[in-house]
Amino acid sequence: MELEITQPDDWHLHLRDGELMKTVLAHTAQTFGRAIIMPNLKTPITTVKQAQHYYQQIKAALASDTIFEPLMTLYLTESSNAKELTAIAKSTEVKAVKYYPAGATTNSDSGVRNLEKVYPFIEQMEKLDIPLLVHGEVVDSDIDVFDREKVFIDKHLIKLVTQFPSLRIVFEHITTQDAAQFVKSSSSKIAATITPQHMLMNRNELFRDGINPHHYCLPILKREKHRQAIVEAACSGNRSFFLGTDSAPHFKLSKESSCGCAGIYSAPIAMALYAEAFDNQNSLDKLEAFASLNGANFYGLELNEKKIRLVKQDFQVEKSYLIEKQDLIPLRAGKTCHWRTELV
Ligand code: DOR
Ligand code: ZN
């Protein structure tokens, strides 16, 4: 079996920087035409100037025969200045602002502690029609890790949407039935990205045959009923759901550690995994909308002109990638994937 679809984009990607970036960028650009680049570097990208510099670094790290467009984002902090929003509106590189709750995940220390404190900034975003990308979790220590997303909806998202009805929001990497339901019942201003790991795995996969740090990401994998709900949302054809891998590389030593980092590296096989998830659901006819149309439409961008071909054929995933003497372990390392992807 094979199918051809418009070249997809990745609407949520971590590229990092330096040597690591070169490898992960090449893996993404094999398949994807564009990607929304997360700003959570060690020194977060908080200004348009920094974002433009990072953009140039990404462009310079691309192989000369590869066409790929990074779509940049700024990291929202409690001292973000509205001047940056005017600069975003004028820039061609920067497309959105990312909200991380402080302490929620990798390099989130500069994130926001009190969301209402940045409401004046968000009000300007609404006026300028700049999308807000949210890491939708409340990470207070008394909240159960599996409930973080639902608590975010109840405590913050409902308020945010009511207060700023014209603000475009992407609820990133949704993992629960509650989030899927919230997006479905919201206006077309509210969209969500969905990762391949949350479509294919439930929380049992964190503990199968012993604890598996390579399945640890944030938001954490959830129980089966939630997996099914987000699969249903992704495969429904609803324009508010689109592809965002959240591919987030950490070296093996940081993953297999007494305090392992959150993040799953899926870039080399991301489209294969999405095809598998849609195939499992007998919904391959909805894959193009999810992967290649809905995101571009939401961001108001042209569709890619190129096509990719997906061929149902087993292949073995690399066990690891060696980058400056460090191992990077991809999702499904050494195991089988069922869909080959190639640019037409
Ligand atoms: O698992 C994750 N890894 N979730 C995030 O939100 C951030 C990411 C990272 O940057 O490593
Ligand atoms: Zn992410």
Residue-by-residue DSSP string for 269-309: GHHHHHHHHHHHTT-GGGHHIIIIIHHHHHHT-PPPS-EEE
Region 45-59 average pLDDT: 98
Residue positions counted in the chain: 344
Question: Phi-psi bin for 110: left (phi > 0), alpha (psi -120 to 50), beta?
Answer: alpha
Mean pLDDT, residues 46-75 taken together? 97
CA of 218 to the centre of ligand 1 (A): 6
Calculate how far, in angstroms, residue 15's C-alpha sits from the geometric centre of ligand 2.
10
C-alpha 174/C-alpha 162 separation (Å) is 20
User: Which tokens go with 160?
Assistant: 């945010």
> Tell me, what's the pLDDT at 124?
98
54/38 Cα distance (integer angstroms): 11
pLDDT at 109 over 90: no
- For residues 311-326, average pLDDT: 98
**How much is the pLDDT for 107?**
84
Which ligand approaches the C-alpha of residue 331 most closely?
A: 1
Could you tell me the distance, in angstroms and rounded to a whole number, from the CA of residue 104 to the centre of ligand 1?
9
Atom of ligand 1 nearest to the CA of 100: 6
Write phi, then psi, for 148 (nearest 5 degrees). -55, -40
Residues 333 and 320: beta-carbon distance below 8 Å: yes
CATH of the domain at 156: 3.20.20.140
pLDDT (0 to 100) of residue 250 = 98
Name the residue among 291, 303, 313 with its Cα closest to residue 241: 291
Average pLDDT over residues 202-227: 98
CB 54 within 8 A of CB 37: yes
d(CA 260, CA 43): 20
Average pLDDT across the chain, whole number:
97
Inside any domain, residue 208: yes
Q: How many CB atoms lie within 10 A of CB 124?
A: 17
Do the domain assignments include residue 268?
yes
Q: Establish if 313 belongs to a structural domain.
A: no
Contacts 24+ apart (CB under 8 A), 245-248: 245/10, 245/12, 245/13, 245/195, 245/196, 245/270, 246/12, 246/13, 246/14, 246/172, 246/173, 246/193, 246/195, 246/197, 246/217, 247/10, 247/13, 247/14, 247/24, 247/28, 248/14, 248/106, 248/217
The catalytically annotated residue of 9, 10, 178, 246 is: 246
10 as an active site residue: the answer is no
Residue 339 within any structural domain of the chain: no
- Residue % of the chain over a pLDDT of 90: 97
Q: Which two tokens stand for residue 178?
A: 């509650």
Q: How many domains does the chain have?
A: 1
Ligand 1 pocket: which residues have CB below 6 Å?
Answer: 14, 40, 105-106, 135, 217-218, 248, 262-263
Mean pLDDT of 191-201: 99
Helix (H) or strand (E) holding 125: helix 119-128
What CA–CA distances, in Å, run from 342 to 6, 73, 230, 274, 289? 12, 28, 26, 14, 18
Residue 233 in this model has a pLDDT that exceeds 90: yes
Give the least confident one: 101-105, 204-208, 216-220, 229-233.
101-105
pLDDT at 105 over 90: no
Atom 4 (ligand 1): residue with closest C-alpha? 218
Question: Domain limits at 172?
Answer: 10-305
pLDDT of the residue at 241: 99
Residue 249 Cα: closest atom of ligand 1 = 11
The reply to whether 44 falls in a domain is yes
Give me the DSSP letters along 162-212: HH-TT--EEE-S--SHHHHHHHHTS-TTEEEEE-HHHHH--GGGGTTTS--
Q: 2: CA distance to ligand 2 center in Å?
A: 30
> Phi/psi of residue 151, each to 5°?
-65, -35
Residue 165 confidence (pLDDT) above 90: yes
Q: Has residue 316 been placed in a domain?
A: no
In this predicted structure, which of 78-92, 105-119, 176-190, 254-268 has the lowest mean pLDDT? 105-119
Residue 127 lies in a domain: yes
Q: Kindly give the number of the ligand 1 atom that is closest to the alpha carbon of 261.
A: 11
pLDDT digits (tens, 9 = 90+) for 287-306: 999 999 999 999 999 999 99
Buried b (16+ CB within 10 A) or exposed e, 148-160: bbbbbbeebbeeb
pLDDT attached to residue 319 = 98
Q: Is residue 133 part of a domain?
A: yes
pTM above 0.75, yes or no: yes
